[in-house]
Amino acid sequence: MITLMKNNLCKKKMKTLSIEEITFSTNAKTATCYGRLNLGHLSVSSKIHIDFHQLNIILNKLGLKGNLEAIYNSLNEIETPEGTYYSLKLLNQTNQSIPLSELKQELKTPLRISA
């Protein structure tokens, strides 16, 4: 009975991802978001793989919450023979938390949670 109550409480709480870094390359079909997955008072290091449509949604949401120009100025670019790699570090940005429900499509792969 207690487990059922805990499960119902967890379902009602909103899952958010406090994004710390986003990485992607010109040759990839997905981007990777690193950060903290939050559910109520529980917070764990995590990463999710998203497609570029979802990446645009995240960047637009972050831009609405803060200074979009500062976010794009944080984008690091590394040229290699295999393509261009990008890294966007958001540790110094405020309000970088995104509710997972706002990614209108289902995630392509399950969340990978690491401790």
Tens-place pLDDT, residues 100-110: 777 655 555 55
| Domain assignment of residue 7, yes or no | no
Q: Which residue has the higher pLDDT, 93 or 77?
A: 77
Is 2 domain-assigned?
no
Percent of the chain with pLDDT over 70: 72
Question: For 22-59, how does the pLDDT look when each residue is reduced to its tens digit (9 = 90+)?
Answer: 999 999 999 999 998 888 888 889 888 888 888 888 88
pLDDT the model gives residue 11: 52
The tally of domains found in the chain comes to 1
Contacts 24+ apart (CB under 8 A), 101-110: 101/14, 101/15, 102/57, 102/61, 103/50, 103/54, 103/57, 103/58, 104/57, 105/51, 105/53, 105/54, 107/48, 107/49, 107/50, 107/54, 108/30, 108/49, 108/50, 108/51, 109/48, 109/49
Close Cβ partners of 77 (under 8 Å, ≥ 6 residues apart): 84, 85, 86
Q: Is 36 contained in some domain? A: yes
pLDDT > 60? residue 1: no
Residue 4 resides in a domain: no
What residue numbers bound the domain in which 26 lies? 14-113
Q: Give the tokens for residue 37.
A: 């997955």
- Position 115 confidence tier, pLDDT thresholds 50, 70, 90: very low
- Least confident span in 2-6, 55-59, 81-85, 103-107: 2-6
- The contacts of residue 28 (CB under 8 Å, 6+ apart) are none
d(CA 86, CA 9): 38
Global confidence as pTM: 0.74
